[in-house]
Homo-oligomer: A and B are copies of this chain.
Amino acid sequence: MEIAKIAKKASLEIADLSTELKNQALLKIAEEIETKKQEIFEANKQDLIEAEKLVEKGELSKSTFNRLKLDENKMRDMVQGIRDIAKLDDPVNKKLLVRELDSDLTLYKVSCPIGVLGIIFEARPDVIAQISSLAIKSANAVILKGGKESINTNKKIMSVINSALEKVNGFPKNVIQQVFTRDDVAEMLKCDKYINLIIPRGGNNLVKYIKENTKIPVLGHADGICHIFADETADLEMAIKIVTDAKTQYPSACNSVETLLIHENFTGKDNLLAALQLSEIQLVADPDSWAHEYGDKILAFKTVKSVDEAIEHINTYGSGHTDSIITKNIKNAEIFMNKVDSAGVYFNASTRFADGFRYGFGAEVGISTNKTHARGPVGLEGLTIYKYKLIGNGNIVKDYVDGTKNFHHNDIV
């Protein structure tokens, strides 16, 4: 795939750009989007005309249509988001370790970009600007594939971004590229020689399809089957408050709760369930599957005999996303947090906190349920890896093997 090869080349060129130049590029993009926002609205209108027909035919949901639609508010947020990323710390070139191996031999572990990112997202055209900005800040090249419903908007935003980048002296070409078809995606997924990380942003089916069809590492999550366990000693009011928030504050979010586990000796059980129903939550005592993501104000619930049974249920049916215990028993909270094998393990807090902005990362790449590289909400740091720089003075291994010299491994940072 030629575009992937070009991206690889661009990734080597952007890798050691200065923070200043990267930020300058981000601010130029923000400015150019503001200047050309009418052109972007025009392009978006074209997409909306087509999308409206699909909505009428019942082939596109109203909520997808809404996500597709750009307005002044979304435009302002998009531009502000880019400026916010410019303000964040540069995740590249951080000294993670400085160690004298010997008096004249120093090892530096330094953060650096991963290389080429492949981002596949669905019908939210504002994602392009956000992801492009994250890629620039972390000095990665990126190949974007957006939803076909937003193709005109995507093309326009992309051309605005690249026209901004052309105006930035010293900024390499081809850092941000775009592909358009399903066949392109299939090709991308094969390019493990050039693409280093795939980030899908979209529904479960998209993520599952990608995970099944590539050898490139995939950062993200398919399901978000989150649990709350109301322990024997849970405070009733707190339980009502947390479960209601976790289910109703944004039911289609991945960090919304899907299953409530209740200790059999929790005396507040009936009151808790009654309160949830008052908040228009539909309770399901006997679901078809304990691993179903409702994405709606529907909540499965189950009585368990102990914290251990709750943990076992979660580790069996959960998706390793975010799970919370409500209890006054600190010992049980510790057992729960240590034994539940999820990215987020919470004690007396709503699962909805699982989010890069709420964690204070300043930007969110996505939420990962992987067990390697990055887990949980992923900020800019998740788009970096590190390299080891070793600076010597003619040092050879033979001297250390035959005992002429000795390592002293003295950490400076």
The answer to whether A360 and B398 have CB atoms under 8 Å apart is: no
Query: Are A375 and B385 CB-contacts (below 8 A) given A349-B395, A390-B347?
Result: yes
The answer to whether A346 and B389 have CB atoms under 8 Å apart is: yes
The answer to whether A345 and B197 have CB atoms under 8 Å apart is: no
The answer to whether A269 has its CB under 8 Å from any CB of chain B is no
The answer to whether A353 has its CB under 8 Å from any CB of chain B is yes
Q: Which of A387-412 contact B (CB under 8 A)?
A: 387-398, 400-401, 407, 409
The answer to whether A348 and B387 have CB atoms under 8 Å apart is: no
The answer to whether A349 and B15 have CB atoms under 8 Å apart is: no
Residues of B within 8 A of A343 (CB): 387-388
Across the two chains, which residue of chain B brings its CB closest to A359?
B107
Q: In the complex, what distance in Å separates the CA atom of A389 from the CA atom of B346?
A: 6
Task: Out of B99, B217, B350, name the residue touching A360 (CB < 8 Å).
Answer: B99
The answer to whether A394 and B344 have CB atoms under 8 Å apart is: no
Across the two chains, which residue of chain B brings its CB closest to A338?
B16
The answer to whether A375 and B371 have CB atoms under 8 Å apart is: no
The answer to whether B235 and A396 have CB atoms under 8 Å apart is: no
Q: Min CB distance, A33 to chain B, in Å?
A: 26
Query: Are A372 and B241 CB-contacts (below 8 A) given A12-B339, A341-B12?
Result: no
Residues of B within 8 A of A12 (CB): 315, 339, 341
The answer to whether A242 has its CB under 8 Å from any CB of chain B is yes
The answer to whether A352 has its CB under 8 Å from any CB of chain B is yes
Query: Are A339 and B16 CB-contacts (below 8 A) given A101-B358, A358-B101?
Result: yes
Residues of B within 8 A of A219 (CB): 372
Query: Are A346 and B390 CB-contacts (below 8 A) given A101-B359, A360-B407, A409-B360?
Result: yes
The answer to whether A34 has its CB under 8 Å from any CB of chain B is no
Across the two chains, which residue of chain B brings its CB closest to A217?
B372
Residues of B within 8 A of A397 (CB): 245, 249-250, 350, 352-353, 358
The answer to whether A373 has its CB under 8 Å from any CB of chain B is yes
Query: Are A211 and B217 CB-contacts (below 8 A) given A344-B388, A360-B101, A387-B342?
Result: no
Task: Out of B105, B358, B388, B400, name the residue touching A400 (CB < 8 Å).
Answer: B358
Residues of B within 8 A of A99 (CB): 359-360
Residues of B within 8 A of A105 (CB): 349, 353
Interface string of A222-262 (1 = CB under 8 A from B): 00000000000001011001101110011000000000000
The answer to whether A114 has its CB under 8 Å from any CB of chain B is yes
Task: Out of B196, B350, B407, name the residue touching A372 (CB < 8 Å).
Answer: B196
Across the two chains, which residue of chain B brings its CB closest to A105?
B349
The answer to whether A376 has its CB under 8 Å from any CB of chain B is yes
Q: Min CB distance, A88 to chain B, in Å?
A: 13
Residues of B within 8 A of A250 (CB): 397
Task: Out of B217, B238, B376, name the residue touching A394 (CB < 8 Å).
Answer: B238
Residues of B within 8 A of A348 (CB): 391-395
The answer to whether A337 has its CB under 8 Å from any CB of chain B is yes
Residues of B within 8 A of A377 (CB): 388
The answer to whether A182 has its CB under 8 Å from any CB of chain B is no
Residues of B within 8 A of A388 (CB): 343-345, 354, 359, 375-377
Q: Min CB distance, A82 to chain B, in Å?
A: 21
Q: A242-B394, A352-B397, A373-B385 are in contact. List 14 more A-B contacts (CB 8 A).
A: A15-B341, A101-B358, A101-B359, A105-B353, A196-B372, A197-B372, A219-B372, A245-B398, A342-B387, A347-B392, A348-B392, A349-B394, A370-B385, A375-B388
A-B contact pairs, 14 of them (CB 8 A): A12-B315, A12-B339, A16-B338, A107-B360, A245-B396, A245-B397, A346-B392, A349-B394, A350-B392, A350-B395, A350-B397, A353-B397, A371-B385, A375-B386
Query: 7 smallest A-B Cβ distances: which pairs?
Result: A349-B392, A245-B396, A360-B409, A352-B397, A16-B338, A238-B394, A373-B373
